[in-house]
Amino acid sequence: MSRDAGNSRRSGSHRGAGRGARDRAPRIEISPARLVAYDLLRDVDDRDAYANLALPARIREAHLDGRDAGLATELAAGALRGRGRYDRIIELAAGRPIGEIDGRTRNVLRLGAHQLLSMRTAAHAAVNESVELQRRVANANAAGFVNGVLRTIGRSTAAEWDDRITAEAASPDDALAARTSHPAWVLRALRDALRSEGRETELEALLEADNVPPRVSAVVLPGWHADVRESESTSDGEVALTATGPSPTGWELAGGDPLRALAALGLPDGVARVQDQGSQLAALALTRVRPVAAGERWLDLCAGPGGKTALLGAEARLGGAHVRANEVSSHRAELVRRATEAVADTVEVVSHDGRDDEAYGPRGVPYDRILVDAPCSGLGALRRRPEARWRKQPTDLPSLTALQGELLDAAVAHLAPGGVLAYVTCSPHLAETRVTVDRLLKRHPELRELDARAVVSGVARGELDLAGSARSVQLWPHRHGTDAMFIALLERGD
């Protein structure tokens, strides 16, 4: 431990020293963006908030302009993505386990470390504003501790800290996990999934991709696609909108405010929205596995928040089918209703447990197509939901996989002969993907697995690099630019 870290620890725990430093130091104005970023980290810790939902609300509440909103987003998302790495660096600089540091102070230090190691913020500004932030939102007596730790961090480069992480790690996996800010169990799960495809050498590329903010992808629902034209960025703030990416209904935005860009298209509410292109392909795999016959009945069993449901509804509308959308949470069911306003004549929204008969309707009439987008660990969306990697534990998997199996069994019982079931998770974890499918096939010999690889390859815009020999599809952020969505298609025998 460096002398500065030791001194800062003592000053942080000495009430008189902290008060004296506070009295002598001139007051520094904290930028609104840093306050918003801190509040977001606190929301994630204390309220289990989803960063991608809570941050826009915080930005609106603070009335941040575009520049400050961008800074707040970079600070908060960067600190969340890099949390594992920053925590290890903070431990090394402070000479104490991260768990022994007060939660509020941890978040101040994470924001400061991100500025020092991953942004172009001047070192003195990063340290001084962090110290002032500590005085404002946490234990003011620990301001000296924050000052000392961040100054210690700032004396070494990011590469030098990574070298130290590696040198002091218990194993190569622990070193790689800390450097890339992934829990070690997640790293091993990702390696196992890649190894099943013969692509274990891609692990570091995947871990790196998880820490890069994704380009904003959008969907324009079928039926309105022809009304959209590509646009270019202009000096007055129009955002470039380009028909690119693997989904034939997908678009990418070059930057700026996506809601403003999509609203400028002038389409009905809900027709154009932000949606990952892997999610789009998962819905289209079910709708385009075979031609749609008029009068077909479709079910989206776990519909919230409604992005896939809207795409199903648009495809059903064109083919003369009808969609029942079930969501166990009444709040999320309302989100589904809002998401499907443009296709409300085709989509019926209900709220039941997907394992109960009520979810399938009172008549007992089977469904021709069922989407089971099951609750899962969410390890496939770490680019967009960086906090998810810190929330889940390997002990969560047994209950999740049990629920996935129960939902699938219930869905199979309501699948028509010749009907197709799509099993989808936003996770590459083998326990939630191939293991679940293989167990389902053993329990239900009336099912056969279709070639989802051929279906998705036929649907996709351009060629997809789908590795391995399984008939299911595993998408990857580093290879396809999407969330790591898993897609399996199963048909019930006549």
**Of 72, 75, 216, 426, which is the active-site residue?**
426
Does the annotation place 308 within a ligand binding site? yes
Question: Would you say 353 is a known binding-site residue?
Answer: yes
327 is in an annotated binding site: yes
Find out whether 56 is annotated in a ligand binding site.
no
Give the Cα separation of 359 and 348 in Å (integer): 12
Q: Tell whether residue 306 is among the known ligand binding residues.
A: yes
| Residue 376 among the catalytic residues | no
Amino acid code (one letter) for 371:
L
Q: Is 307 annotated as a binding residue?
A: yes
Residue 392 in marked binding region: no
Q: Is 373 annotated as a binding residue?
A: yes
Q: Say if residue 87 carries a ligand binding annotation.
A: no
Residue ranges for the known binding site for S-adenosyl-L-methionine are 302-308, 327, 353, 373
Residue ranges for the known binding site are 302-308, 327, 353, 373
Residues annotated as catalytic (active site), given as ranges: 426
